[in-house]
Amino acid sequence: MSDAAHKAMWEKLDLDIEAHDGLLAVLGKFYGDIYLSQEGRLKGAEYLDFVLSEVHGLRIKEIQDAKAAGKKVVGTFCVFVPEELTLAAGAVQVGLCAGAKAGTELAETLVPRGTCDLIKSFVGFKLARLCPYTESCDLIVGETTCDGKKKAYEAFSQLANMHIMEVPQCKAPCDMTLFRSELVRYKEALETLTGNAITAAALAEATKVVNAKRRALQRLSALRAADPAPISGRDALLINQISFYDDPVRFTAKINELCDEIEARVAAGQGVAPKKTPRLLLAGCPMAVPNWKLPYLIESSGAVIVGEESCIGERNTRDLTDETPADLDGMLDALAARYMQIDCACFTPNDERLDNIAALAKRLNADGVVHYGLLFCQPYAHEAMKVGKAMTAAGIPYLAIETDYGMEDAGQLKTRVEAFVETLA
């Protein structure tokens, strides 16, 4: 697309063109400094670079073309929204901008100042007219995974057409029943939105598409157990972030191609860092595009990240949806069972997360765990303490970091990370 075509599309979406141009300029420099400066990247990383260069361009054009062809677009902020149902309804599902400081002053007119940056980000992107994904949506799905989001959605629903999905806070049988009923309610909302009835055949096909994407990401995760690490943590995080934006079938094909290249690299004993470089598992809060600060600080401090225990990582890809049910009721049961395995910090108790982190660290041959907590995110701040005790019991070195989307603390964080990495060498 030409620059003029981009601009015309963004004007049609009523973006603030001047502010949006400024955002893309900052994002481009940030990406160049953090990603393009890496040595030893895979050839397949060209796909990542292209997607990021056109994340507000060609992908938005594809979405607009889909809308012109009669498809509806559904935006989400959370891994509890089942993409299987969205695709089965013939709609497009996309993750929404929430990983950068944008429109913060405007956001603080709708949500309290002491709200986490993720929430202020999606509110700010909307109020400042900076996110073409949000402006393309026919429906935005919120979920009750924390009190901050719940109350923010009350205000946000005045700005966009929303469907709120109730996510239980416990995992008793009655909670499973509640979540299954929420799946039925979401299915009905999709059918009303699209005018398409979700059939067993459509849901079975959609489940295969989404599972194929998860299998590609599982394959990538398994390959990262190799030493030397065959791919940087920054690139692996970016792959997981792009999984929320790109067409799922194209994404799966590209990531499987990239995994083919990684397998050859592993067989040749090659990597992005020398063998025995300290290996870290990054756990905790999700990191939406372009929240790359902490991964960059870690990998510029003499370590390599070998896994992400977050919603933009293993928590979203670890479990598949059972493809064996033959009827719609059975498929909905399978969806409920799969999504209720997510070990989000919104659940109480959530002890399986502690076991999952320790097991993942061992599977990936990690030398230590860094827990990332987003400032003002109470659920993960509480769990950071429990994770620390669990890692100590498992004999895994541990560092807990709490930060926000700003760069003001970058120097202080780098000092702490470097000191931690030195203890692992």
Which is it for the CA torsion 69, 70, 71, 73, positive or negative? Answer: positive
Q: How would residue 177 be classed by pLDDT, with cut points 50, 70 and 90?
A: very high
pLDDT tens profile 321-366: 999 999 999 999 999 999 999 999 999 999 999 999 999 999 999 9
% of the chain residues with pLDDT over 70: 100
- Residue 2, pLDDT score: 77
Q: How would residue 1 be classed by pLDDT, with cut points 50, 70 and 90?
A: low
Furthest-apart CA atoms within the chain: distance in Å: 59
Q: How would residue 128 be classed by pLDDT, with cut points 50, 70 and 90?
A: very high
pLDDT tens profile 12-23: 999 999 999 999
Tell me the C-alpha distance between 36 and 344, whole Å: 32
- Phi then psi for residue 323, to 5 deg, are -95, 5
Mean pLDDT of 90-111: 96
DSSP annotation of 421 reads H
Q: Whose CA is closest to 230, among 420, 66, 380, 41?
A: 41
pLDDT tens profile 387-413: 999 999 999 999 999 999 999 999 999
CATH class held by domain 205-320+344-423 = alpha beta
Mean pLDDT of 230-254: 98
- Residue 333, pLDDT score: 98
Q: How would residue 97 be classed by pLDDT, with cut points 50, 70 and 90?
A: confident
What strand order describes the sheet that includes 92-95? Answer: 92-95, 73-76, 139-143, 162-165
- Residue 277, pLDDT score: 98
Q: How would residue 259 be classed by pLDDT, with cut points 50, 70 and 90?
A: very high
Q: Whose CA is closest to 361, among 269, 247, 282, 251?
A: 282
Per the model's pLDDT, the better-predicted residue between 425 and 280 turns out to be 280
Is a pLDDT exceeding 80 seen at residue 208?
Answer: yes
Mean pLDDT of 42-70: 96
Mean pLDDT of 119-143: 97
Q: What is the mean pLDDT of the chain?
A: 97
Cross-strand partners of 163: 141
Mean pLDDT of 227-239: 98
Residue pair 128/18 in contact by the 8 Å Cβ criterion: no
